[in-house]
Structure 1
Amino acid sequence: MKRKVNLFVLAFVLSAFFSVTKAQVKPSMNYKNPVVEVGMPDPTVIKAADGYFYVYATESTRNVPIMKSKDLVQWTYCNTAFTNKTRPKFEPRGGIWAPDINYINNKYVLYYAMSVWGGEQTCGIGVATSDSPQGPFTDHGKLFRSNEIGVQNSIDPSFLQYKGKNYLVWGSFRGIYVIELTADGLSVKPKAKKKQIAGTAFEAAYVHKHGDYYYLFASIGSCCEGLKSTYHVGVGRSKKVWGPYKDKNGKSMMENGYLQVIGSNDHFVGNGHGSQIIRDDAGQDWLFYHGISKTAPEKGRILLLDQIKWDKDGWPYVEGGSPSYEFQKAPVIK
């Protein structure tokens, strides 16, 4: 009887030990691309006040799909930003493209492009807001159309705050431009003048500050030709936010110079239109972007994730120069 009691106590102690150890030492999780195997083109990401990350995308799923995650790897669908009744209407037959999510003045602010394919003069950029990252979003209409702002193919918005002021970066293969917005971010500041900061090789531009430099990430090539797509991600940098942005060899992005960051490989092609760079709890930088699987192109532009690293000279890169396809260490999210 005494022996049985001792064995019971020993089992209880060992059980408690392993329970505590498991709680204190969380095994590192791995992930493999794609992180979402349905169409999520042109992703944009934010960490919300509720502790979840939210990703939004061009409407392969009508009315702008929203997914959420605690760890940047495992995503669940939660809503659409709009409904058929609430969706923007300033381009009546247009699709909602390239959303850009931000948190401004205690509101979730979603910039978006609206266009029909080839409608380079009538397309434009609008804005919507919500109290919740899951929506519903209230549309505030267009900021401008191409033919109003004087920039052909005015799509692909990207919000930027600089020295306490709000700016919008935008453009697609007709130059990358920037203009100041009002304090609430919901309209162009009166009398603001646009400024061109990159040439005609680029779209989906996004400014990111790292160290002493501002980096202008952008996409180059064809996005939407299936396995023939040539999309890839490039970058230039400058010590001034409005440039001039230059590549490693000193060629200006106004002259279409850039350093390639993400290209194609035997597994994924058409890789581009990166999100905002997300920093994890270990200080590592991550980029979401879309790509096309060579083995399952019918799934469309699926969601990919890779770590952005920085070389000794401060230039960004991903390992191998193209999407990872074997298991990688996941972002560290506590």
Structure 2
Amino acid sequence: MPNTVTNALALRPTLAAVLLLAAVAFSARGARSETSAREGLLNGAPDPTGVAVTSDDGKTVYYVAATGEGVQLLRSTDLVHWTKSGRVFEDAVPAWAARDVPGTQGIWAPDLSYHDGLYYLYYSVSTFGSQHSAIGLAINKSLDPASPDYAWEDRGKVIDSDASRTDFNAIDPALLVDEDGRWWLFWGSHWAGLKVIEVDPSTGKPRQAAEILPVAARPDTRSHAIEAPFVYFHNGYYYQFVSWDGCCDGAKSTYKVAVGRSRQPTGPYVDADGRRMLDGGGTVVLQNSERWRGPGHNGVIATDQGEWMVHHTYDVENLQAQRILQVRPLTWTQDGWPKVGEPVSAP
């Protein structure tokens, strides 16, 4: 049984710490993709989140959850060599989600964290381009399938969306426990933008009569392309990282990461120029390069060695691998804004 759990991948400086989870089976460089980017939405290791567990014998074990059928889980002891560690659901999606969101083929954007003795895994189900979506929650006492405590319990639907009654899209959940111990769930993609609601820690679901609050949007763009909120506290501010533009078009992807900050978890968030994120503001901190395309859907991980951004990206030299996981150092400017470095290592 683990006795210490942190919501962090404790990266060691000597490791080649880019986690190309999906690329292991594809060693040929320069290979053209035989599966289109849209057909490969559930392949690779998209939308990943990770936790680091210190076991009773003092060893660190790393687990990653990522988009896929049933939510794929992977395990590592060195951040380089990964093995499959089962998945959360035996079926591609739980039965309630298959009924509520017809046509869904897998689970998107899991958010994995540890609080008060339980692993919380929020997940989303939808179909590409649709506002008919739902967010669910599963919990577990352990991530080790060999543990007698290992058993996923699905708590079912947390929140859902539909064009007839909501202005948001219920995907891309992310849980924040703020500095005062209050729980908040962020989510959203396109449409009217990103939202947050206060969560009851006893259930992991919204508090009764809790208000849904807007936290970011892109009303100044035709596509309203904003999604994947991730809020991280640093030195007195809550930083809201979001992803803009096109996520899933292979080498043509235009995904990028932008950020704003606030003294309160519910906002208002403003960028480095003082523009509100609700008005389309956001300071871009990661975008396309010659080799890496569509970097985004990020998380921030604090470690003993520093802070890191994890995100997925396409490698133009190996598009068949689909969206792979990449790790970059995260530092801070003198005036308190995040700065994203180059990948820790290339494949």
> Which one of 94, 98, 110 corresponds to residue 87 of structure 1?
94
Give TM-score, length-normalised by structure 1: 0.81
> Which one of 304, 316, 329 corresponds to residue 307 of structure 1?
329
Give the letter for the 1:291 counterpart.
T
Q: CA deviation at 1:109?
A: 1.2
* Aligned counterpart, 1:183: 201
How does 1:262-273 map onto structure 2 within 5 Å? Answer: 262-273=286-297
> Which one of 79, 84, 87 corresponds to residue 72 of structure 1?
79
How far apart, in 2, do the equivalents of 1:239 and 1:37 lie?
A: 38
Preserved contact between residue 52 and residue 69 of structure 1 (Cα < 8 Å): yes
Report which of the two has the higher share of helix: 1
* Aligned counterpart, 2:67: 58
Unpaired segments ≥5 residues, structure 1: 1-26, 328-334
Question: Is 2:172 the counterpart of 1:156?
Answer: yes
* Aligned counterpart, 1:17: none
Unpaired segments ≥5 residues, structure 2: 1-11, 24-43, 145-149, 219-224
How far apart, in 2, do the equivalents of 1:196 and 1:138 lie?
A: 30
Q: CA deviation at 1:32?
A: 6.0
How far apart, in 1, do the equivalents of 2:336 and 2:288 lie?
A: 23
Give TM-score, length-normalised by structure 2: 0.79
CA spacing shift, 1:151–1:126, aligned 2, 3 Å? farther
Preserved contact between residue 16 and residue 345 of structure 2 (Cα < 8 Å): no
Preserved contact between residue 104 and residue 185 of structure 1 (Cα < 8 Å): no
How does 1:1-334 map onto structure 2 within 5 Å? Answer: 29-31=14-16, 33-38=18-23, 39-50=44-55, 51-59=60-68, 62-84=69-91, 87-90=94-97, 91-94=101-104, 95-120=106-131, 122-134=132-144, 136-147=151-162, 150-162=166-178, 163-174=180-191, 175-200=193-218, 201-275=225-299, 277-282=300-305, 284-319=306-341, 323=343, 326=346
Per-residue Cα deviation, 1:102-130 (whole angstroms, up to 9, x for no partner): 2233121110011112321x201110111
Preserved contact between residue 19 and residue 79 of structure 2 (Cα < 8 Å): no
How far apart, in 2, do the equivalents of 1:194 and 1:143 lie?
A: 13
How far apart, in 2, do the equivalents of 1:314 and 1:294 lie?
A: 33
RMSD of equivalent CA atoms: 2.2
CA spacing shift, 1:34–1:86, aligned 2, 3 Å? closer
Larger radius of gyration: 1
Preserved contact between residue 17 and residue 79 of structure 2 (Cα < 8 Å): no
How far apart, in 2, do the equivalents of 1:143 and 1:177 lie?
A: 14
Q: Percent identity?
A: 35
User: Helix, strand or coil for the counterpart of 2:241?
Assistant: strand
